[in-house]
């Protein structure tokens, strides 16, 4: 029987999660195939991660590109179905909660191929988020559920998932962070952007913030009230760029909007910042380890461990400026707890679960 492990990646947050899993399986001599769906395709949203994180170049790129949810998910499914039938992997590994994740899970389930979900069990309980739909469907279908936090284990248990399917392995995104931490240097971008000592970083791309005109208007007001207090660097995701520009987001002297950065540059910038304003999932986790205060501009989070253990706090657009004032007045954090198993060893733990499962399936 095939021992091939096939990884499906496609969007920016997948790459730092997959890197340590691929490396750990490689170290154990497991045959692997890396598929990129092409959901993200800009140099700064994709290729740069492969170069900087030493991920092998994808064996196959489906080049599906952007589209409405149905069209994009269907295109990924069509491409993956042909590939899975041809290559017959022993296991498919999917990451996170993007459309590429759910598309791969559906195809693998219909073909009866074992599936492992890295970052299983996270729940915002907010079905207006496309990611929540993707998470729920993926977890319902996957055979091996690899979790990053204790609350994720509990959610799966509450949904009736048998304990045998759940493995609490820690956070592979944090493996990547810890492996490259020494390379996170704010100095080059400080010089290039002519930044003052105290500056903030913001990333904004959730549909709940950047899609509807009313939300965009409120976001612009809230962020300008932040920029009244300190310089804000915004490596802006392409999703809301045109709408934010049209709504005047860029038009504040302290608002420095730039293209997305590569992983190392971005993490260097965050490391040197006084605080981060974000609606990203991954950034809530990264700031938790770096000890940078994180203000999450969302009504909920699927990552509550970053609040109980990390530096994260949920804020609304109306309360953002006040929260920034508090964080700047408080100054750098001295001490904060770190979530269990966010220790840089999630990749090897995941590889161990996969190898054992493949041995059992043989």
Which listed residue (121, 281, 344, 348) binds ligand UDP by CB under 6 A? 281
Which listed residue (266, 272, 301, 348) binds ligand UDP by CB under 6 A? 266
Residue 283 interacts with, from ligand UDP, ligand UD1, none (CB under 5-8 Å by kind): ligand UDP
Between 104 and 351, CB nearer to ligand UD1: 104
Between 42 and 322, CB nearer to ligand UD1: 42
**C-alpha distances in angstroms, 321 versus 171, 274, 289, 310?**
31, 14, 24, 21
CA distance 266 to 44: 11
Which listed residue (5, 6, 9, 16) binds ligand UDP by CB under 6 A? 16
Region at 88 (left for phi over 0; alpha for psi -120 to 50; beta for the rest): left
Known catalytic residue at 205: yes
CA distance 229 to 333: 19
CA distance 324 to 351: 41
Which listed residue (52, 99, 124, 306) binds ligand UD1 by CB under 6 A? 99
Residue 171 interacts with, from ligand UDP, ligand UD1, none (CB under 5-8 Å by kind): none
Between 239 and 325, CB nearer to ligand UD1: 239
Q: What is the DSSP letter of 167?
A: E
12-31: which residues touch ligand UD1 (CB under 6 A)?
12-13
Q: State the burial class of residue 127 (Cβ atoms within 10 Å of its Cβ: 0-12, 13-18, 19+).
A: exposed
Between 32 and 176, CB nearer to ligand UDP: 176
Q: State the burial class of residue 29 (Cβ atoms within 10 Å of its Cβ: 0-12, 13-18, 19+).
A: exposed
Residues in contact with ligand UDP, shown as a per-residue x/- string from 224 to 263 under the rule CB under 6 A: -----------x------------------------xx-x
Residue 239 interacts with, from ligand UD1, ligand UDP, none (CB under 5-8 Å by kind): ligand UD1
Element housing 216 (H / E): helix 213-227
Between 33 and 291, CB nearer to ligand UDP: 291
Between 91 and 98, CB nearer to ligand UD1: 98
**C-alpha distances in angstroms, 210 versus 181, 207, 249, 302?**
31, 5, 11, 19
Strand-by-strand arrangement of the 275-278 sheet: 255-258, 231-235, 199-203, 275-278, 294-296, 312-314
Q: Are 234 and 257 in contact (CB under 8 A)?
A: yes
Of the listed 205, 224, 252, 309, which one is catalytic? 205
176-215: which residues touch ligand UDP (CB under 6 A)?
203
CA distance 18 to 13: 9
Exposure letters 194-227 (e unless 16+ CB within 10 A, then b):
ebeeebbbbbbbbebbbeeeebbebbbbbbbbbb
Which listed residue (282, 293, 304, 348) binds ligand UDP by CB under 6 A? 282
151-210: which residues touch ligand UD1 (CB under 6 A)?
205
The contact set with ligand UDP (CB under 6 A) reads: 12-13, 16, 203, 235, 260-261, 263, 266, 280-283, 286
The contact set with ligand UD1 (CB under 6 A) reads: 11-13, 39-42, 45, 66, 97-99, 130-131, 205, 237-239
Active site residue ranges: 205
């Amino acid at each position: 029987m095939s021992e091939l492990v096939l990884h499906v990646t496609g969007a920016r947050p997948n790459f730092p999660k997959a890197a340590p899993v691929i490396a750990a399986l490689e170290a154990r001599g497991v045959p692997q195939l890396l598929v990129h769906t092409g959901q993200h395709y800009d140099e700064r949203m994709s290729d740069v991660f492969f170069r900087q994180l030493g991920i092998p170049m994808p064996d196959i790129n489906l080049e599906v590109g952007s589209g409405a949810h149905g069209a994009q998910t269907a295109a990924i499914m069509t491409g993956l179905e042909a590939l899975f039938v041809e290559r017959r992997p022993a296991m498919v590994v999917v990451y996170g909660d993007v459309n590429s994740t759910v598309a791969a899970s559906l195809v693998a389930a219909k073909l009866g191929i074992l599936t492992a979900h890295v970052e299983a069990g996270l729940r915002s309980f907010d079905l207006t988020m496309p990611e929540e739909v993707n998470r729920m469907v993926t977890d319902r279908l996957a055979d091996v559920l690899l979790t990053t936090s204790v609350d994720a284990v509990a959610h799966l248990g509450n949904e009736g998932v048998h304990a045998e399917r759940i493995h609490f392995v820690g956070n592979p995104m944090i493996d990547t962070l810890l492996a490259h931490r020494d390379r996170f240097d704010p100095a080059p971008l400080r010089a290039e952007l002519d930044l003052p000592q105290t500056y903030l970083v913001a990333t904004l791309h959730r549909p709940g913030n950047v899609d509807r005109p009313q939300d965009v208007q409120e976001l612009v007001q809230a962020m300008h009230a932040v920029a009244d207090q300190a310089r804000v660097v915004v490596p802006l995701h392409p999703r809301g760029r045109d709408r934010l520009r049209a709504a005047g987001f860029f038009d504040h002297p302290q608002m420095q909007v730039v293209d997305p950065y590569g992983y190392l540059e971005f993490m260097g910038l965050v490391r040197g910042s006084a605080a981060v304003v974000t609606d990203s999932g991954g950034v809530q986790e990264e700031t938790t380890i770096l000890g940078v205060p994180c203000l999450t501009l969302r009504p909920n989070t699927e990552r509550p461990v970053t609040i109980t253990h990390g530096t994260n706090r949920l804020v609304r657009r109306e309360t953002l400026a006040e929260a920034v004032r508090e964080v700047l007045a408080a100054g750098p954090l001295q001490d904060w707890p770190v979530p269990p198993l966010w220790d840089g060893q999630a990749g090897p733990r995941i590889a161990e679960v996969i190898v054992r499962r493949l041995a059992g399936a043989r």
